[in-house]
Structure 1
């Protein structure tokens, strides 16, 4: 993937750039390098033509002739986020989703996302054109891995989704959308095993991976079919629903989680099977956390990003959920414990935000929140950053280029004010986002789309 040089960016995109020099020194930062290693103080990173050419202690790096210097004292530098459950659509009510092609790309970049996978698409031609325009430098946004239209069975709740009920349909669907330029696929609730197997085999034959938000198919069954990834942690797993019938989406999944002993073979055998099969799990705690009472509301910036009518609806919905007093708190704790158990068992945990649900998950802001939730789940800050950077890069097969702060890699970096290892609130303090070595002003990007989320 060619790097986007400053001079290749449109005037509209250049307006968001604060650091445009081809030679840059980010000096004297606290470095979280994405490998999971402890953070290091007093580090400097040198960038030349969009690549990291030196990483070392500030005193060793010294003065670098000809470099534009970004002073990093009191700041933390980490890799650009690689987020694997994102969308360009947003809920507008009544199972309808509006494509937000203008607001979402800059929001993602503002929040530190330099590479993203769309975890499902309802407007795939638009998603592909957005990716094209980002790569051409016409609009600001992260590099994109675009999924094709959902691999869904008959009578799904979203009318915009295909209805695939035979292997022949699945193969034709995969081949058609691969020809259009998509790079992955996502299976959904009602697909059956025979059809999904055909889709997975067709995708793998074309070099694409398949993830899934499943219900009719259990996690164990999906792993045996060859699926690469499963979404929403274990939130969508139906492996423990009593009386589950083959290829039927059952009720009662939430109750099955609450009654499940996470130390029992019923759970650990499924985890071990997923690890053995190399299936990654995507954490999307941002989209489920506010089902629990007492959670912090969306930040003010996220609320200001919404169309006012959408903000009113979203906040009213959150107030109703808070008053309802459901089992949400216990469920959220269980979801976190399940993901942590998978991580501890050696599973590849990746992360995304899923800006759907009740509309309270706003790109950029939610990506910052996702890191905080990984820490709340029990990961160290360094481990959380690794999940949100290197793990995603490994899954996408791009870890030789992105995901860690190492010499030779693309200069996709995030500069934060403060130190998240002592205050996870610092994940909210994005100052600069370097994409291919070009430094974008986070606040300017966030401010550019106020009032747009929901319709643009």
Structure 2
């Protein structure tokens, strides 16, 4: 879709009547029960307001003139998908570094709104936004209030980093620019500053805390693998977050930074690119979630190789060194029983392509059913939202996706959503 068509669609959705039909009956030719792994034939999902009230065998007839019947008899129907690592504020461009100095918050917000709708129409009805400027939290509020269409958003606000770390936006700048930037509120060193940084994000409305325990690929530091927080600092972050009812997502590539974060009790390791055997065993033992973001590694490595000059040289080198190793790490961790939740790092690549992650996980040895479970049951558990999300069951939000084909036989079907409903409202219907 073009940007113009997306904006027109958004306007139409916002102009639609707020009232729900008495009931919506979805006639599902094949319904995937993600718990049993079975495809159930000829099922009806009954939706009232924003919830599923029943899942019934056979095609239930409308019982009143206001009932809305949706024909999905030639489709495969699944729970709404959950992406546990996106950046809705970000749009990939060779101008990203320049735009950091030229875009205003309002510019970022308009772009983020388009990215949110694109993500929703791709079948992802819930996302965990793992760091932005704070616009991500405002976008969450706007979506929740019905002001703009988008997925249900769990926002980390601004991600927390050590000085010189992955989320230090002054990396690589000259001394004058570093001095002008002062001490950004997301930079924290030592346990006391780490506690304060968590409380700052909590005050600003974050749903979770995101930190970086190692360097990254898409920053101007020379190394993306070294540990950047001590275990004591991470423990201070985790304990403070827990006191405030927040979970902690941890960006980490290198093995030492992963192990420190896992021992300190983070909820998830995101990327985990260079896990060694000790880190894998530790994650399996502690049941720490792993959010692999394979598509991000593939995307940056392919861009560095095929588009010379797109990235600064230091980033291009790291993209090739780190991105090419992520599928192999995933294969080892999956075989060892590490718990996996779906996440893509969308914003590093184009939003709306999130479902490519299913194919990359399958290539690395996970069954199609298990890849789907990572984006439904597992992701809901990571978020702490199993009562409302992750499966098609009575009482849960009416987050429903339909695709052409059988994704248990060909997981690429996940790339072809033809119907998307979030909280009882259809945002795509073909």
Which runs of structure 1 show a deviation greater than 6 angstroms over 4 or more consecutive aligned residues? 16-19, 318-321, 325-333
| In structure 1, distance between residues paired with 2:264 and 2:99 | 31
| In structure 1, distance between residues paired with 2:131 and 2:305 | 22
Count of aligned pairs between the two proteins: 375
Q: Is 1:71–2:71 an aligned residue pair?
A: yes
User: How far 1:353 sits from its partner (Å)?
Assistant: 1.5
User: How far 1:214 sits from its partner (Å)?
Assistant: 2.6
Unaligned runs of 5+ in 2: 1-9, 171-183, 215-227
Matches within 5 A, 1:1-400: 12-14=12-14, 21-35=21-35, 37-58=37-58, 61-66=59-64, 67-90=67-90, 91=92, 92-94=95-97, 99=108, 100-121=111-132, 123-124=133-134, 126-156=135-165, 158-159=168-169, 162-188=186-212, 189=214, 190-214=228-252, 217-232=256-271, 234-237=272-275, 240=276, 267=277, 269-290=278-299, 316=307, 335-357=326-348, 361-365=349-353, 367-400=354-387
**Number of the residue aligned with 1:302:** none
**Number of the residue aligned with 2:423:** 436
Unaligned runs of 5+ in 1: 1-9, 241-266, 298-312, 444-456
User: How far 1:192 sits from its partner (Å)?
Assistant: 3.2
Larger RCO of the pair (alpha carbons < 8 Å, separation 6+): 1
Q: Is the 8 A contact 1:80 1:112 kept in 2?
A: yes
| In structure 2, distance between residues paired with 1:327 and 1:213 | 15
Q: Is the 8 A contact 1:32 1:78 kept in 2?
A: yes
User: How far 1:26 sits from its partner (Å)?
Assistant: 1.1
Higher deviation after alignment, 389-398 or 15-24:
15-24
User: How far 1:65 sits from its partner (Å)?
Assistant: 1.4
Question: TM-score normalized by structure 1?
Answer: 0.74
Q: Secondary structure at the match of 1:39?
A: strand
User: How far 1:394 sits from its partner (Å)?
Assistant: 0.5
User: How far 1:442 sits from its partner (Å)?
Assistant: 6.4
| In structure 1, distance between residues paired with 2:263 and 2:376 | 27
Alpha-carbon distance change, 138 to 195 in structure 1, aligned in 2, over 3 angstroms: same
Q: Is the 8 A contact 2:273 2:322 kept in 1?
A: no
| In structure 2, distance between residues paired with 1:432 and 1:388 | 17
Alpha-carbon distance change, 41 to 35 in structure 1, aligned in 2, over 3 angstroms: same
User: How far 1:399 sits from its partner (Å)?
Assistant: 0.6
| In structure 2, distance between residues paired with 1:287 and 1:411 | 29
| In structure 1, distance between residues paired with 2:188 and 2:397 | 39
| In structure 1, distance between residues paired with 2:42 and 2:234 | 50
Q: Is the 8 A contact 1:390 1:404 kept in 2?
A: yes
Q: CA RMSD in A?
A: 3.3
